[in-house]
Structure 1
Amino acid sequence: MVLITRVLGLLGLALAHALPLQSKLSQKSALGLVEIQHGSYFVEFHSEPATPACEEEHAQFIKQIRVAGINVHMRNSFRRLFNGVAIDLLNGSQLQRLAALPTVKRTWPMQMRSRSTAIPSSNVLPNLMFAHKHTGVDKTHKELGLDGTGVKVGVIDTGVDYLHPDLGGCWKTPGCPFQFGSDFVGDGYDSGTTPYPHPGPYPRDTCDGHGTHVAGIIAAKGDKVKGVAPGVTLGVYRIFGCPGNGTGQAADDVILKAMEAAHSDHMDVINMSFGGGSGWSEDPLSVAAARLVRDGIVMVASAGNDGANGLYTSGSPGLGVGVINVASFENWMTTSLSIDLIGRYSNMSIVHSSPGNSKHRFVFELPVPVVAPTDSAGSNEGCTSYNSRFDGQIVLLKRGNCTFVEKAAHAQDAGAAGVMVYNYDSELMSPSSASANLTIPLVIIKAEDGQAIIDELKNGSVTASATNHTMSVANPLGGQVSHFSSWGPDPELQLSPAVGAPGGNIFSTFPLALGGYTSLSGTSMASPYVAGMAALILQSRAKKVSTDEVRQLILESAHPIADKNSTGLLSPLRQGSGLADIWDAVSALAIIEPPQLSLNYTVAGDVRDSVRVLTLHNSSPTNFLACTMTHIAASSVSSYMTNGSFAATPRIWPESPQTHASRDTLPNAYIDNSTLPIRVAPGASQEISVHITAPTGLRESDRWFYSGYLQFNLLWDDEVGTARSLHIPYMGYLGNYTQLDVLSAPDEGFPYISVKGSTDTLGDDAHVTINGTHRVAVHYRLEHPTRLLKIQLVDDANVTQGYLPRGYLEYMGRNYQSSRGHYSNSTINGTLYKDTDLTKATDLENGMYRVRIDALRPLRDPQDPEGYQIWHSSRFIIDSVSLDKNMTASKLNDDKDIGDKVFQP
């Protein structure tokens, strides 16, 4: 990975191209679906984990906090993957003293992670076999006899119902697949409402199902469900409690504890189907995952389900170096319970998704009227209240602009008996409407089915009934990347996701108490599919293969798919290396290093020809290998429209299959060798120089990511003429990536400042008063992740007076866009901070001020003042400041508004 070299440092990894930040405290904030656990911190010590010095530092830390009189609740301690502790700081004003202790290297606010899928449906027909036929799993089982025997796979998740007969029906008995694992949380745990775990004796899942579904994809061996590697030995590490307790989240320290346990149990493969948000490779969990890879464990993680929010949505821990983060492909068959509809002129039966809450099944034995109303805002999306009643009726709504919980709540308040939400397309995603206040079911239906119901309602009434009848229908989106699957790249321009696997509408095991089987969708389902593939590779090589080689085999044997909306192949920022194929992986006789290429950036006026040296290894011990290369251009993508405005749905070039794309608008690549094919001796290696040329016919101002695939055509001189193709994706940025803006353009309405609670921007020389009820809010939106964001108050001479609360933030993810808006904010509340740790508070004085925001541009040195995008507000005058001296500093720091809420489209 050229120009971005990663070395051990901050929590294991830091960027070699940038100087380290000087602060020992980090107010790290990842926007998106990952939230900060307020008052809880990771405290990192100086030494490497698993060393004598590490043990000594733990003992010294306890002595030092006692002497300093610092009050903490010790949550967890870590010595294997991370040298430090997780604590709750009982007095926020002691944070600076804690950071100053000799043993402390750095502190990190803790985060909370969410499951990657929602709640299950009832029993449906098996369809995992359709996926196996398209990924080489069936052929590998039948012709090679591989099933993962002898390989240990750890599942860090909600626990597993190990008494399920398709999963062995046992726990740690001789011959049982479940030989390792622990419950770290207990049924009642939820990091948002019940932060302290109360572990149970066994990691059995009887109330959630997510982990049981994941385990079935890996290892089930029944008539209804056969996993990818049904012979593996399993470890179960439970990090989530039962749903319905609150936020349904797990804190990072619990997850890290589970990762250390799986490491201690010597798992060969670990699957992590959780995460989300706009992540970084420097996130603590990403770093811990990278350490596991370094220690010889194959790490597989879901890429995330934030695809509707566009680029930079791949999440932690999947961005750890060497981790295989997995995109979701749609299954080729849709199986589900059905809804029978009767209209005036036509009748139809349609499939639906799993319900948003397993407690409220979508079952209507007798026909129920269907209505498609508009809400009080005149929308058919149901995001506001209704002026009419729908007692005992099913409400049909369009997906978008608010959460499913909100849609269901408004319908319930109007008396509805159930909700059907029709999607943007033919995808049946797994929604989430779990809330203690909701008592009606909600399901997703296809876009075309929703429109058919609306058309029939124009002719008269429509009724619906739903029993236990199941349907299996061909999925028109089969083999395509799922709409929900997250996009890359990572914030430092590394290619993400790594590879894709079936994850849309996957039938697998479920807790016996919840029906035994169900169909779910998510990158949570794609990740264990690849974990099972990794187990088959390890078995095929008698585990005498490195984690790098396993990753290379999976990635390079994958098959990139065409972009159905354009010409050429789908961007690797969407599909990674393509759809994984285990048959090609286990039968591969060659690998190429590296398996993916990130070109960083091309600068205007410079030569647009990047040269990358790859190494081809011929694994055949007896036969010569001949190699040629074919270049296949992939779609270019941008988050910006032709007018320069930002859009969540990336813009694509070529724009459609009918678009005539001239050669200069597409990238190109060729081998720098006049003598082709390149010959490689048995067991030998050969370096290959590849020239990759960026498009010249696309405007740099449009901020394109261009991409393509290097297809290496391999032919051995054996008797049968064995032939294989390996694919290496590449991606680059058209223009100078280090000059990319981080903040949204002013003409898009951000940043701006206003009196708290008002949307009116403060004009030049406006007069304001700061007291307990009147404050000034600073609103900003990040269209690109940033390593460092500084929000300061400056005087009329542009001299910094101090940082605002939440005014020094590291490793920020980008904001997600929606029609209701999503942004971040800080508040001028009368307190400024003189230090980057935001602990040395000072009172704000009357005077003339501006707000200044410094956002570090991509890949820039935080010590270089030229590396920032800078915004100044209009000038305003503070006439008086009257602080509530009884208000704590932590309360002032926690001042929020609606801009911090994440909306599920």
Structure 2
Amino acid sequence: MKLATILSALAAATLVAAGKFHPIDESKVDYVPNAYIIEYNDNVRHRDAHNSFRANKVDYSVRNEFNVFNGAALTVKSGHEGEALAKIPGIKNVWRVTLHKIPKAPKSTKKATDPSVVSVHHMTGVDVLHKKHKLTGKGIKIGIIDTGIDYKHPAFAASGAKEGCFGRYGKNCRIKYGWDFVGDDYNGANTPKPDGDPMDCNGHGSHVAGIIGGNAMNIKVSPKPPQPFIGVAPEVTIGAYRVFGCYGTSADDVILAAMELAFNEGMDVINMSLGEDSSYKSNPTAVLADKLIARGMALAAAAGNQGTDGVWMVSDTGLSDLGTSVTSFDNNYGFYNSFTYGGAVYPYAPSDAWNMAIDLPANTTLVPIFEKDGSLSDGCDEDVYNGLDVQGKVVLAFGDQSRCLSGRGSIAKDAGAVAILVQTTPVGIATMGGSYDYPFATVEHGTGEEMIAAWRKNPKSRIAWSKRPSTFTVENGGSPSVFSSLGLDGELRSKPDIAAPGGNILSTYTLADGGYTVLSGTSMASPYIAGAHALYMQAKNAKPRGDEIRKVFKNTATIGSNFGSKTKASAAKQGAGMVNVLSAIMTTTSISPDHIDLLDSKHFKKSVKISIKNHGKHSQTYTLSHVPADALNSYNANNTFPLGIPVIEPDYATVSFSASKVKIPAGKTVKITLNFKEPKKGKASEFPIYSGFIIATPNSKGGVPVHVPYTGLKGDVSKVPMQDTVQGFPSLMAQQDWKVVEIPAKTVFDLTDPENAELVPVIASRLGSHTPNFTIRVFDDKKTFVGYLYSNSLGRAFGWAGRVSSTSFHGKMMFSRWTWEGQVLTDADPTLEPVTVPSGTYQVVVASQKKLTKGDYPADYEVFDLGKISIKTAPKPAEE
């Protein structure tokens, strides 16, 4: 076929729908300059797409090519930006190549030497499946996309062997498949150096692999485990797909390549413990996840560890329609460093930044800091220390994160305290940001109360710090982990999907770093679900699609409660509940769909149909019931940024059934209509997220009840605040010597030499909620739109954006800082290269599209006119 014919066919194929560019929030997402992931239309072949690129004068090199995804990752050398690439015939979607942080493996728990860390399988029925049903995952393949695996670890050894091996280097290797896509020195910014050896030099991937398929029950070689333990599927075959170096980040085109290789090598399940920040489902890994699952695979992905950042924080790959977003429940036991105070021993968790054991003199004493009303202070205001002698002492503060954005640790340090302990709220031990140069740790809520009581009895009591970690029965054990990210997603879909043990999990680690450790995170919960898939497939002697297994797991999960609560935790926190693999295998009933999205009051789905199927051999009668769950209020104090820990309220929906009891013959399905009414309690102006569970209970003895979660938002979601106006955002400021300052009166910004300008304009933004399109628009003095702001530091100011995190590692308030050097991107420019506007006065407008709207400007946007600024730019060179 001639090139002209090819291009004609491509043009015809794209007349119906042009390609779409998916801009990112470049203020909060790291990306590779000039690199793009491009998805072709379904009927377009790779060579035809490349011909089309060349015909449109795109100069590029290929980073990766994808088959199932049907596309490529390119480095573009000709200056074409994403919008221009999306207009080329044959293109379906275009994304920037973004970078994912290496999964965190806390150093403070590397020495797992205590003999009493306890297995978690009794929480999920896996212990019964191992002992009674002899299920081990044999014959199932699970691909782990992570930091690699220390395949020499004895916990991965075949029966009778002293150490494990990798498939390409030995016989009977359990880690049989895999590839190193990057090399040790890769950090996301440099060139990958792939090879065939996926050895782990970080630890995270090895820990994940041990949860899935490690066997440390009878290890007699050094290093020995602190206690014998076994993974979920100890005879599963593993593929190790290494996408991270020893440090740094990884590009998502590398992750896509790993996903495709896992598919090509026959993996039945993929685990991706790679949760990032708040995201939309239109990200490339989620798109490929749906394609792979539609071809018969299953995929488990971590929901994220930002539970103390509040709602709207579920991440990345698990947002796919068919994938499984996994949240975490705490183990009943934890492995922590500790201190002794008032005759009792208490565990603590060092801050993310400090990240090591606290070692202070044994004569340090405690000083709780109080507000005027006698309550424990959060330590966010300097004046709370007025009149207090904290010199050389340890401060105890309250862990409220709804307003403490300036770093309580630095305030305590300036007051003279040698360390700060923060009482977690509401329960558990939730790590905080802290400072790299200051001892900062969190303690359980009950610990804080007991310490205050001991201090009142004897203020001179001293604190003695442990030399090594040990095991504690933990607050919140068996309940949703405080650290797990909260939903919903940007389109009010019910995410996360399901929970698994992820808090305080003993597993394998790199041999160079001790071989074993205890870690916490949804990174630990996700592989548990991946291993559970293997047991289910083995039990059924079949390999259903991942979304089908997800439905069974969700139908049969154990609905959990927050620690000390008699009500059920929100489905936006726990999904359908803690996986019960035994019940999933034994059930003879299913409910479809596996979740119900009621959306908001404006789009409220009053009537929903569910299907109940009896897979058993006999007729079964089911009784339908409704169990409401806690509502989450994140905007109860006129705040414009969601609370770090939402207020729990009894805002319950009501449900009526077209039939409250139904008899279903064997093999048949019955449809039931559910009629919902929004909660009477709860203010629509505060946008509470409510949820609950619809349960079908069989009347037969030993029958497994099944359920489906629902979620909704009371109020109009389009009125949920986008910008944090309470904190003064968005705002038009000036940047001088890297500091943000007020713009001096009558300022004309001299941007003729932007790199050396003493003063440049800055637009400060703080998004507290998803937006389908975040924009900074520039108008001239006649109110004519001239383009979208372009910043040399952050790039283009338009495109979808998830919300920002509450605080940084240092406890500082997170916001986006857009410097402006006088450049804009215009719709009229086909390549969308930034152009410099002429000298003059310009009006700056920040506009964020509201959720569930069409995107008509300005009606569907939250609009802030930041006023006018005057700039002087270099004149455009005369054309020769």
The interval holding the TM-score normalised by the smaller chain is 0.7 to 0.9
| 1:640 partner SS | coil
Find the aligned partners of 1:356 and 1:849 in 2 and give their Cα distance.
43
The whole-number CA distance in structure 2 between the counterparts of 1:353 and 1:222 is 26
Q: 1:37 aligns with which of 31, 34, 41?
A: 31
Residue 860 of structure 1 corresponds to 853
1:809 to 798, 806, 815: 798
From 226, 229, 232, the counterpart of 2:230 = 226
What is the CA-CA distance between 1:44 and the residue it aligns to? 1.3
**CA distance change for structure 1 residues 876 and 347 in 2, over 3 Å: closer, same or farther?**
same
Deviations 1:650-706 (A, max 9, x none): 544536xxxxxxxxx521112113xx5211111111111111211234332222222
* Matching residue's letter, 2:73: V
Cα gap change, 1:841 to 1:722, in 2 (>3 Å)? closer
2:703 aligned to which of 723, 727, 736: 723
Looking at structure 2, the residues matched to 483 and 290 of structure 1 have their Cα atoms a distance apart, in angstroms, of 29
Partner of 1:709: 693
Q: Among 124, 141, 149, which residue is 1:135 paired with? A: 124
Match of 1:617 among 591, 613, 618: 613
Secondary structure at 2:704 match in 1:
strand
How far apart are 1:125 and its partner, in Å? Answer: 3.8
Q: For 2:689, give the aligned amino acid.
A: F
Distance of 1:417 and 1:73 partners within structure 2: 54
Instruction: Name the residue aligned to 2:480.
Output: 481
Per-residue deviation, 1:597: 0.4
What is the deviation of 1:185? 1.6
SS of structure 2 residue aligned to 1:616:
strand
Q: Does the aligned pair in 2 maintain the 1:537–1:586 contact within 8 Å? A: yes
User: What is the identity, as a one-letter code, of the residue corresponding to 1:553?
Assistant: V
After superposition, what is the alpha-carbon deviation per residue over 1:336-369, rounded to whole angstroms, capped at 9, x for unaligned?
4544x4x7xx4443334489699x9649699685
Whole-angstrom CA distance in 2 between matches of 1:185 and 1:368? 49
- Tell me the alpha carbon deviations over residues 275-323 of structure 1, each in whole angstroms, 9 at most, x when there is no partner: 2211111011111111111111110011001111111100001101111
Change (3 A) 1:599 1:867: farther
Q: Cα–Cα, structure 1 residues 128 and 338, in superposed 2: closer, same or farther, change >3 Å?
A: closer
CA distance in 1, matches of 2:787, 2:323: 40
Aligned residues: 816
CA gap of 1:43–1:749, structure 2 versus 1, over 3 A, is: same
Shift of 1:411: 11
Is 1:211 aligned to residue 201 of structure 2?
no
Corresponding residue number in structure 1 for 2:317: 317
CA distance in 1, matches of 2:632, 2:433: 30
2-structure distance, mates of 1:409, 1:482 = 27
Show the counterpart of 1:84: 72
In the alignment, structure 1 residue 768 sits paired with structure 2 residue 748: yes
Question: Aligned in 2, Cα 1:537/1:464: closer, same or farther, shift over 3 Å?
Answer: same
The answer to whether the 8 Å contact 2:748/2:872 transfers is: no
CA distance in 1, matches of 2:173, 2:804: 46
Please list, as runs of the form range in 1=range in 2, the aligned pairs for 1:400-799 lying within 5 A after superposition.
Answer: 423-424=424-425, 427-428=428-429, 445-446=443-444, 449=447, 459-460=459-460, 462=462, 464-468=464-468, 471-563=470-562, 568-603=567-602, 610-620=606-616, 622-643=617-638, 645-649=640-644, 651-654=646-649, 665-673=651-659, 677-716=661-700, 721-737=701-717, 739-744=718-723, 746-757=725-736, 768-771=748-751, 772-799=757-784
Conservation of the 8 A alpha-carbon contact between 2:34 and 2:81:
no
In structure 2, how many angstroms separate the alpha carbons of the residues matched to 1:153 and 1:536? 11
SS in 2 for 1:318: helix
Hey, what's the Cα distance between the residues in 1 that align with 2:615 and 2:280?
Answer: 35
> What TM-score do you get using the length of structure 1 for normalisation?
0.80
Aligned residue for 1:10?
A: none
Separation in 1, partners of 2:478, 2:876: 61
Native 8 Å contact 2:365 2:460 kept in 1: no
Alpha-carbon shift at residue 142 of structure 1 (Å): 1.7
- Report SS of the residue matched to 2:666: coil
Corresponding residue for residue 331 of structure 1: 331
Change (3 A) 1:115 1:451: farther
Rounded to whole Å, the distance in 2 between the matches of 1:23 and 1:752 is: 34
CA contact (8 A) 1:123 1:517 kept: yes
1:834 aligns with 2:834: no
| Residue 582 to residue 129, structure 1, CA distance change in 2 (3 Å) | farther
Distance in 2, matches of 1:114 and 1:487, equals: 20
Deviation of 1:592 after TM superposition, in Å, equals: 0.9
Following TM superposition, by how much is the alpha carbon of 1:514 offset from its aligned partner in structure 2, in angstroms? 0.9
Post-superposition Cα deviations, 1:579-618, rounded to whole Å, max 9, x if no partner, equal: 11111101010111101100123339xxx77111111111
CA 382–794 in structure 1, closer or farther in 2 if over 3 Å, else same: closer
User: Which region of structure 1 is more displaced relative to structure 2, 701-710 or 408-417?
Assistant: 408-417
Secondary structure, counterpart of 1:181 in structure 2: strand
Seen in structure 2, the aligned counterparts of structure 1 residues 367 and 562 have a Cα distance that, compared at 3 Å, is closer
What residue in structure 2 maps to residue 183 of structure 1? 180
Say if 1:148 and 1:535, in contact at 8 Å, map to a contact too: yes
For residues 860 and 725 of structure 1, the distance between their equivalents in structure 2, rounded to whole angstroms, comes to: 38
Structure 1 contact 128–226 (Cα < 8 Å) conserved: no
- Evaluate the alpha carbon distance shift between residue 680 and residue 701 of structure 1 in structure 2; reply closer, same or farther with a 3 A threshold: same
What secondary structure sits across from 2:685 in the alignment?
Answer: helix
Change (3 A) 1:311 1:415: closer
Deviation at 1:45, TM superposition (A): 4.4
Q: State the partner residue of 1:5.
A: none
**Separation in structure 2 between the aligned mates of residue 290 and residue 179 of structure 1, nearest angstrom:** 25
Distance in 2, Cα, partners of 1:381 & 1:208 = 36
Aligned: 1:238 with 2:223: no
1: CA distance between counterparts of 2:64 and 2:455? 59
- Give 5+ residue unaligned stretches, structure 1: 1-18, 656-664, 887-905
Q: Structure 1 residues 477, 612: CA separation in 2 closer, same or farther (over 3 Å shift)?
A: same
Residue pair 1:635, 1:652 contacting (<8 A) in 2 also: no
Deviation, 1:630, is: 0.8
- Residue in structure 1 matched with residue 785 of structure 2 by the alignment: 800
Distance 1:99 1:152, change over 3 A: same
| CA positional deviation for 1:370 | 7.2
TM-fit CA distance, 1:80: 2.5
2:104 counterpart of 1:114: no
Instruction: Specify whether residues 462 and 40 from structure 1 end up closer, same or farther in structure 2 by C-alpha distance, changes over 3 A only.
Output: farther
Query: SS of the counterpart of 2:705?
Result: strand
SS, match of residue 75 in structure 1: strand
Is contact 2:405-2:806 (8 Å) kept?
no
| Cα distance in 1 for residues equivalent to 2:418 and 2:742 | 43
- What's the TM-score once normalised by structure 2's chain length? 0.83
Distance 1:447 1:613 in 2: 43
The Cα RMSD (Å) is: 4.1
Aligned residue for 1:317, secondary structure, equals helix
Counterpart of 1:262, as a letter, is A
Distance 1:127 1:271, change over 3 A: farther
Query: C-alpha separation between the residues in 2 aligned to 1:489 and 1:824?
Result: 23
Q: Does 1:873 align with 2:865?
A: yes
Cα 1:113–1:405 change in 2 (3 A) is farther
Equivalent residue runs for 1:359-374 within 5 Å: 362=357
Q: Distance in 1 between matches of 2:172 and 2:381?
A: 53
C-alpha distance in 2 between matches for 1:116 and 1:496: 21
Q: Which region of structure 1 is more displaced relative to structure 2, 175-184 or 744-753?
A: 744-753
Tell me if structure 2 keeps the 8 A contact 1:429–1:504: no
Question: Closer, same or farther in 2 for the Cα pair 1:149/1:128, shift >3 Å?
Answer: farther
Secondary structure in 1 aligned to 2:316?
A: coil
Evaluate the alpha carbon distance shift between residue 195 and residue 885 of structure 1 in structure 2; reply closer, same or farther with a 3 A threshold: farther
1:226-256 Cα deviation digits (max 9, x unpaired): 111111111111111214xxxx321111111
How far has the Cα of 1:399 moved from its partner?
6.6
Contact 2:37–2:253 (CA under 8 A) maintained in structure 1:
no
Deviation, 1:324, is 0.9
Query: Residue 573 of structure 1 aligns to a residue in which SS?
Result: helix
1:816 & 1:381 partners in 2: Cα distance? 18
**Unpaired segments ≥5 residues, structure 2:** 1-14, 158-162, 218-227, 370-376, 752-756
**Structure 2 counterpart of 1:576, one-letter code:** G
Deviates further, 92-101 or 594-603: 92-101
